[in-house]
Amino acid sequence: MHWNTFLTIPSPWTAEIMARSGFDSVTIDMQHGLMDFQGAFAMLQAISGTPAKAFVRLPWNDPAVIMHVLDAGASGVICPGLNTRQEVETFVGACRYPPLGYRSYGPIRASLVFGPDYVKESNDKILALPMIETAQAAENLESFLDVPGVSGLFIGPYDLSVSMGLSRLGDIHDPEIQKVIHRVLHACQKTNKLAVIFSANLQYAKELAAMGFDMVCYASDSTLLQEAAKAIDLRR
Ligand code: 3PY
Ligand code: MG
């Protein structure tokens, strides 16, 4: 089991702190986090000196951004908001060099970080994880797994509950979310792909790890910082 956390604070320093805190990897969140490309690039550099791998959650399914963050040295990318197999083909194709995909040559930092065989090895080593976070994606999830070069599936329980019109936001115990969880676990096990999920709740995160997810992304730098600050009882 692989533990990850999300980085939303646009700072190489907080990125380094989080990457030295015991997580197997960290995800620079360019969708809801506060960093632009230059901010993410500096964070990738800071994480390089730590034991943790650096993934990037993309702002959206944009091949230009995908290739840019991979060339900058991300070990994997997570794509939000996908609905159809065709959109997943666009996403995964941008992560893979031909013949698997259509990624353009130019690993300016990636070949420095991962070595001279990067282009040969990256199709196998770099993670490409489409998110399942809409009702439509949930319907189609099995079809995403035979897109050439896809590494697995990443459930976003918050958007999924919004998209499905559920009353409890991000609640993994909701029966509708449970159905998606079981289908993702089953489909990924059957195809030998990674099952990944996010949880802002530690008890839920541990439950998900016990259920058989390969990677659980627990909380973020912002929420953990705020929780630690709030836990100080200043009035006693
Ligand atoms: C969601 O739950 O919607 C997410 O994007 C979590 O990362
Ligand atoms: Mg989401």
Distance from C-alpha of 137 to C-alpha of 14, rounded to nearest angstrom = 33
Among residues 2, 32, 173, 182, which one is catalytic? 32
Classify residue 233: in a domain, yes or no: no
Classify residue 218: in a domain, yes or no: yes
Confidence band, pLDDT 50/70/90 cuts, at residue 143:
very high
Classify residue 32: in a domain, yes or no: yes
The count of domains in the chain is 1
26 Cα–ligand 1 center, Å: 15
Confidence band, pLDDT 50/70/90 cuts, at residue 65:
very high
Q: What is the pLDDT of residue 234?
A: 86
Classify residue 164: in a domain, yes or no: yes
In CATH, what number is assigned to the domain containing residue 54? 3.20.20.60
Classify residue 192: in a domain, yes or no: yes
Classify residue 208: in a domain, yes or no: yes
31 Cα–ligand 2 center, Å: 8
Classify residue 90: in a domain, yes or no: yes
- Print the domain residue range for 172: 2-226
Confidence band, pLDDT 50/70/90 cuts, at residue 236:
confident
**Residue nearest atom 5 of ligand 1, based on CA coordinates:** 156
Is 2 noted as a catalytic residue in this protein?
Answer: no
3-state secondary structure 47-112: HHCCCCEEEEECCCCCHHHHHHHHHCCCCEEEECCCCCHHHHHHHHHHHCCCCCCCCCCCCCCHHH
Distance of CA 97 to the CA centre of its chain: 20
Distance from C-alpha of 45 to C-alpha of 171, rounded to nearest angstrom = 35
Instruction: Give the pLDDT confidence of 39-53 residue by residue, as tens digits.
Output: 999 999 999 999 999
Classify residue 235: in a domain, yes or no: no
